[in-house]
Structure 1
Amino acid sequence: MANAKGSADAAGLKRELVGLFGHLQKIRADLAALNPPGSSDHFNSMSEQLDAIVAATETATNTIMESVEEIDGLMTEARVLVADAQSPRLEQIFDSVGDRVNQVFEACSFQDITGQRVSKVVNSLKFVEDRVNSIILTWGREELAKVVVEIKQEEDPDRKLLHGPQLPNEAMGQADVDALLGQDAIDKLFG
């Protein structure tokens, strides 16, 4: 009876080891998928994209604020020019515009808060990246490179053409587009 129990324990242990091995293989494949040899660094790319969001938001906010400052200045000039008219309705309009200008200034404070939140996300990504890189170093890049990872995506023939907003150093310039199409193709489009 002790032999049967020992055999059952051994079979249970074997099942557990096979299950554990399966989980380790899945972890290995997942790690290899994160940064397979020759691919771009996903974590770094995410950080760059988030940094680009902060920069674009800051640029847009500065443009908005400069424009609103100019509008406020023009309204002040207009108020002086029509002061002689002593129209209560004009005073109401000027006051309303002034209130709206102040609301735009207040609303533009979102940029600072957005930047702070995105910075927290970037720091979290860097933390995860450091931990993943530590695991990859422990496991060994060569060992992970042996793991074949197939990421199945629906292939859309136009997918390669759609990249959305790109970082400035990755964006295709007009000269690249012209070279891609060629003058004949451009002439046919407008011919």
Structure 2
Amino acid sequence: MQATQIEIAALRHPKAEQDRLVVAGEELAAIVSATEHATNGVLSAAELIEKTAVKLKARTSDAGEKADLDGIMDAVVSIFEACNFQDITGQRIGKVVRTLDFIEERVVNMIQTWGPEAFANLHTAVEVPVAEEAKLLNGPQLQGKAISQSEIDALFG
């Protein structure tokens, strides 16, 4: 039973400031948001290309230019089709987030069943092994959790 409590505490200690499952869900939500934003930018640019190609095609009588513009419009359609990945990716990540939420609920229920006192003498944090080079990579930060530019400037000021 103590081994189970240790494993649960490694996932979510009642006194810990950070919940690994919640953080994982937040990171996945950030991925969905970033890919949606990027995809919208790609789609907007593709729509502009398509509108411009249609206008140019209407103004030219040259068969070669019309064929080239048809090629551009076909490529734009391919871009639209390829951007469907974002919706599919979002759906798949949503399934993972729901699974993490389910696991989180189960962990919270187990902690409530035993009571916080059962975890009082257990460590609040378990170190996750990370490769040396990965320790140097902080990657993109979640909104509101990153160091601000003014804080960075203060380090060098």
Q: Deviations over 1:69-122 (max 9, x none)?
A: 001111112222322xx2x32222111111100010111111111111111111
Per the TM alignment, residue 147 of structure 1 is displaced from its structure 2 partner at its CA by 1.9
Cα distance in 2, alignment partners of residues 109 and 168 from structure 1: 25
After superposition, give the CA deviation of every residue in 1:134-176 in whole Å (9 maximum; x if it has no partner). 11111222221312365364695993x6321111111222111
For residues 1-191 of structure 1, the aligned pairs below 5 Å read 24-36=1-13, 37-83=15-61, 86=62, 88-148=63-123, 151=127, 153=129, 159=135, 162-182=137-157
CA RMSD of aligned residues (A): 2.2
What is aligned with 1:17? none
Say which structure, 1 or 2, has more relative contact order (CA 8 Å, 6+ apart).
Answer: 2
Bigger Rg, which one = 1
Q: Which runs of 5+ in 1 are unaligned?
A: 1-23, 183-191
Which of 31-40 and 106-115 deviates more?
Answer: 31-40
Alpha-carbon distance change, 155 to 55 in structure 1, aligned in 2, over 3 angstroms = closer
Q: State the percentage of identical aligned residues.
A: 38
User: How many pairs were matched up?
Assistant: 155
TM-score between the two structures when normalised by the length of structure 1: 0.73
Corresponding letter in the other structure for 1:75:
A
After TM superposition, give the deviation of residue 25 of structure 1 in Å. 2.4
State the alpha-carbon separation in 2 of the partners of residues 103 and 64 from structure 1.
12
Q: TM-score, normalised by structure 2?
A: 0.87
